[in-house]
Amino acid sequence: MATIRLGDTAPNFTAMSTEGVINFHEWLGDSWGILFSHPADYTPVCTTELGTVARYMSRFQKRNVKVVALSVDGIESHYGWVKDINETQHTTVNFPIIADEDRKVSELYDMIHPNASDKFTVRSVFIIGDDKKVKLTITYPASTGRNFDELLRVIDSLQLTAYHKVATPANWVNGDDCVVSPSIATEDIPAIFPKGFREIKPYLRITPQPNLDK
């Protein structure tokens, strides 16, 4: 079974979802994407997760990110479960959920970990850039719900560092100072980062976030 690594092109697939048949790459278009799996329909943690994603959808859209979920349950099960999610989480599911009964996508993305379960997917997360490359992977066990504020924070970092020669330090959030890329010589920093910088060590240079008007 193939392992998906950072920088790989996200495997394409065609699958049935609650919003019709999806060709993954065509569906992504020029957007970033999150593909995430949940172990099963009608389960408590997954219900809270999908409700949270629905409530956060405007935040993902602001970042040009499309979101798609997946489990190995069938499409009719998904339709019924969506009603429960909407009712219990006081929201409206506004993103597709893939029905992967044949496990084609689950196996393509290595979402079934036999030592955890030989039937159900773990809580996999794949963040995919607008170039269709895998930018981040996270795997959670079935017992631990995901933190979608953290996924938004990671997306902010990934998009910032994709277009600017910076890295983000520990616990960084959008608006915080950034680390100047080690590939930039100190004497070149003023021309690249006119907001200024602080040199803590020759390898640790700090500059204001470059894509903010401040």
Supply the CATH number for residue 191's domain. Answer: 3.30.1020.10
pLDDT of 177 over the 50 cut: yes
| Three-class SS state of 3 | coil
**Measured distance between the N- and C-terminal CA atoms of the chain, rounded to whole angstroms:** 48
Does 23 have pLDDT greater than 70?
yes
Instruction: Give yes or no: residues 20 and 126 share one domain.
Output: yes
Are 188 and 123 in the same domain?
no
pLDDT at position 156 is 97
Q: Is the pLDDT of residue 121 over 70?
A: no
Q: Quick check: 118 pLDDT over 60?
A: no
Q: Which residues are catalytic?
A: 46
> Three-state SS for 69?
strand
pLDDT tier at 143, thresholds 50, 70, 90: confident
Determine the structural domain holding residue 202 and report its residue range. Answer: 164-207
Alpha-carbon distance of 126 to 13, in angstroms, equals: 14
What is the mean predicted confidence (pLDDT) over 79-95? 96
Q: Report yes or no on 9 lying in a domain.
A: no
Instruction: Answer yes or no: is 212 within a domain.
Output: no
Write down the pLDDT at residue 120.
57
Q: Do residues 107 and 68 touch, judged by C-beta distance below 8 A?
A: no
Res. 3: pLDDT tops 90: no
pLDDT in tens, 38-74: 888 899 999 999 999 999 999 999 999 999 999 888 9
| The token pair that represents 82 in the structure block | 């969506």
> Which among 52, 84, 72, 70 is positioned nearest to 151, based on CA atoms?
52
* Spatial CA neighbour of 97 closest among 44, 138, 46, 151: 46
pTM of the model: 0.90
* Contact by Cβ (8 Å): 6, 128: no
When the pLDDT of each residue in the chain is averaged and rounded to a whole number, the result is 91
Same domain, 53 and 108: yes
What's the confidence (pLDDT) of residue 116? 53
Q: Do 31 and 83 reside in the same domain of the chain?
A: yes
Are residues 195 and 121 located together in one domain of the fold?
Answer: no
Whether 154 maps to a domain, the answer reads: no
Q: Look up residue 183 and give its DSSP letter.
A: T
The pair of structure tokens assigned to 6 is 């950072």
CATH number of the domain encompassing residue 124: 3.40.30.10
E strand or H helix at 87, and its extent? helix 75-89
Residue 1, in any domain of the structure? no
Domain count, the chain: 2
Claim to verify: residue 201 and residue 136 sit in the same structural domain:
no
Distance CA 197, CA 135 (A): 27
